[in-house]
Structure 1
Amino acid sequence: MDILAIIATTLMAIVSPAGAVVDTLAEDALRDQIASAEELYVRIDNVPNYQILSGRIEHAQVAARGLYARQLPDLRVDAIDLETDAVDVDFAALQRGELKLDEPAQAALRLRLKASDLNTFLASPIIQDWLDTLSFSLPGSGAERERSRYGLANPSLEFLDGDRLRINVDLNDQVMAETLEITVELGLDIVNGHRFALNNPRIEIDGEEAPPQLITSLAEGASEELTLRRLEDFGLTARILAFDVRNNQLDLAVFARLEPDSPFLQRQPDPAPQPDSEAVPSPR
């Protein structure tokens, strides 16, 4: 769920005007919080306007298309539409370039992700590094050492009708030096707004139906892992209000609440530039 945390907290961070008192300055501050955006619109409503000097923002709207977060530069978010409730920030801290909340911040957002963008992200090093941390054993293996025998690689995703997904991934057997093609087709149900439950999952391994015990193991493991409750330990409460798969894209409506002491408010520094002597020219 670390990836979900990065996405959610990046979206929450962009509501701060970073000391701005007009929409144009707020948009400039927003651009400093993200890697890039193809389109960006910001509107901040304050009545009376002088309240912003005390750090209170009555209402903020953010719309972005083709957004890339600093923490996930390989993930393109096709569309984001975000609206906040009243937000109280530490104005003096903002003037120093720091983002601090005096009170919890709440926002409702709509998020659209395209399958093509997600597949680009799935091919990125950050996903493969995460897959490399996973350890598991197949049914019947028994021995603990079997948990490091298998690895996953080359994931891809396809959105299907009926709010269903098809996931393809290679299962590498490190002992036998073999690779098996895994296809998982499933639906996703939202339980209590925070947990994804697998609906009628089907698994094929090299074109053969997987045994029922493997499907049961997958469903139980996913139910434990795919919950937004994990984010609450980091001061972020998120609930999914709507979930829709259509036209090879995913649309989400989410409510989020960020606590003032959340570690996600600490902005990550920009990567240090490489010395010229270490730069490697791109092949032509």
Structure 2
Amino acid sequence: MELIIILLSSITSLFSLTGVVVDKTVETALRSQLDRAEQLQVRVDNAPVHQIINGKINKLRIAGRGVWVSKDLRIDTLEVETDPIAVNLQAIQADGQNPRSSSLQQPIQAGVKFKFNEADLNNFLKSPASIAQLQKMTTSTFGAAASSLNKDYQITNPQLKFLGNNRLGITAELKDPGSDEKLAINLETGVSVIGGRKFQLLAPTATVGGTQVPPFLLAGLTTGISDRLSVDLLEQRGLTTRILQFKVSPQELELSAFVRISGTQQ
């Protein structure tokens, strides 16, 4: 979700101090917000010069392949298409190095689509930030599934598998740092979207060290993930998001959403 903020909140900085914006200017500004991008194409549609000078463009299209949001997270395919955009150029110029706080003449609305492959998401799962989050979730959810988990187990080797039909498989190991003892974690679950706002796990099953995880513990996992992946928190930053499609096939994970930014984000 952070990428949506990067993409849309940076749009207010895409106008130069002279009020002129062209495709290459937009691409350069966008690349500056990313770690890197293997391919990135930007097109400003139907933008007469007099509109551009007044801070208006009719449509902005962005298409990318191999877009790295950070050094750990790569998006295989990215597509963005906005509605008409109108910004306050005087406010942008006055803000100087902080154009994101500039007021918009109208909210920015856009459709966004992301596609991920297994290899990229597994690379992200192995990052320190992801491991820390998985450690926290594993301890709180699966801890009671094995009597020996009063030890300081560490989660290692997380792996994600696309199963198709909107189902995911996740495996990992819990390792006792004081010995070679390991416990295997296996989770399989369906994923759905509730009201365009939250993700929900469907019919999850899990084992820890070969022991079936009780349903009441999985219920806690379902609630925890749903709360973490809710778009509600983004609204506090001036960004309204509605998830339009979530699809998992054996080849890729695809996410489409509608976003609206009011210009009050910080």
TM-score by length of 2: 0.83
1:60 maps to: 60
The letter for the 1-side match of 2:8 is M
1:24-103 paired onto structure 2 within 5 Å:
24-69=24-69, 72-92=70-90, 94=92, 96-97=96-97, 98-99=99-100, 100-102=102-104, 103=106
Cα displacement string for residues 123-153 of structure 1 (whole angstroms, at most 9, x for unaligned residues): 1122224345555263489xxxx6x955533
Any stretches of 5+ residues in structure 2 without a counterpart?
A: none
Q: Where does residue 105 of structure 1 map in the other structure?
A: 108
* Structure 1 residues 150-229: aligned runs within 5 Å: 151-172=154-175, 178-229=181-232
Relative to 1, partners in 2 of residues 1:140 and 1:163: Cα closer, same or farther, differing over 3 Å?
A: closer
3-state secondary structure, aligned to 1:33: coil
1:230 CA displacement: 2.0
Which of 106, 127, 130 does residue 130 from structure 2 map onto? 127
The number of equivalent residue pairs is 254
Does structure 1 retain, via aligned residues, the 8 Å contact 2:207–2:213? Answer: yes
2:256 matches 1:253: yes
Per-residue deviation, residues 214-247 of structure 1 (Å, max 9, x unmatched): 2222223333333111221222221110111113
Q: 1:220 & 1:23 partners in 2: Cα distance?
A: 43
- Note closer, same or farther for the CA distance 1:61–1:181 as it changes in structure 2 (3 Å cut): same
Q: Give, in whole Å, the separation in 2 of the partners of 1:119 and 1:208.
A: 25
**Map of 1:140-159 to 2, 5 A cutoff?**
151-159=154-162
Query: 2:191 is matched by which residue type in structure 1?
Result: L
Computed over aligned residues only, the root mean square deviation of the Cα atoms, in angstroms, reads 2.8
Cα separation, partners in 2 of 1:57 and 1:47, compared to 1, 3 Å = closer
Is 2:4 the counterpart of 1:8?
yes
Local SS of the residue matching 2:263:
coil
Please say if residues 47 and 57 of structure 2, whose CA atoms lie closer than 8 Å, have aligned partners that are also in contact: no
- Distance change (3 Å), C-alpha of 1:150 and 1:23: same
Shift of 1:164: 0.5
| Contact preservation (8 Å) 2:238, 2:262 | yes
**Structure-1 separation of matches of 2:42 and 2:112:** 14
Larger displacement relative to structure 2 (164-173 or 241-250)? 164-173
Distance 2:177 2:220 in 1: 21
Q: Secondary structure at the match of 1:247?
A: coil
**Counterpart residue number, 1:23:** 23
State the SS of the aligned residue for 2:203: strand
Which residue of the partner structure matches residue 231 of structure 1?
234
User: How far, CA to CA, are the matches of 1:62 and 1:157 in structure 2?
Assistant: 28
What TM-score comes out, normalization by structure 1 length? 0.78
Q: Secondary structure at the match of 2:140?
A: coil
Q: Secondary structure at the match of 2:206?
A: strand
Q: 1:140 to 1:248 in 2, by over 3 A?
A: closer
Unaligned runs of 5+ in 1: 264-284
Say if 1:15 and 1:62, in contact at 8 Å, map to a contact too. no
Residue type of the alignment partner of 1:81: E
| Residues 12-21 or 196-205, more deviating | 12-21
